[in-house]
Structure 1
Amino acid sequence: MADRYLTVAQVAESLGTSERFPRRLIAERRITFVKVGRHVRIPESALTAFVAANTVQPIDHRRGSLRRVA
């Protein structure tokens, strides 16, 4: 199945940010993008990978507790 190519506006909406944030990701080469003439598109799979790579998992406070059960 072919990847969907998203505009900067679509990526911003998906992330809940302004368009400035995905443009900065592109400028800093922190996300994969495709240039189509003078237009920039971000593959949907690249957006999914970016979100997955930057997702922080919660800490299970019960496992690392210093408290000991008698």
Structure 2
Amino acid sequence: MHPAATHEVRYYARPNIAYVPFDDAPPLEYGLVWQAAADTGRIRAFAEAAVQTVRRQGGPGDVCAECR
């Protein structure tokens, strides 16, 4: 048994895995993570694009300070 987000059924459906929904769990939260030593302009641009996409889609307004 492994808890998974609802969207995994759509994006990662497998015929040998049974997804059983349950409604009494708190929502899962995701975040971008990368090594500080590997930080590049391209990574920061991707993170900013992800933040803006989440906001346009009505996602959480409390995006981490590093991502703003």
Normalised by the length of structure 2, the TM-score is: 0.26
Work out which structure has the larger RCO, using CA pairs closer than 8 Å and 6 or more positions apart in sequence. Answer: 1
- Under a length normalisation based on structure 1, what TM-score does the superposition of the two structures give? 0.26
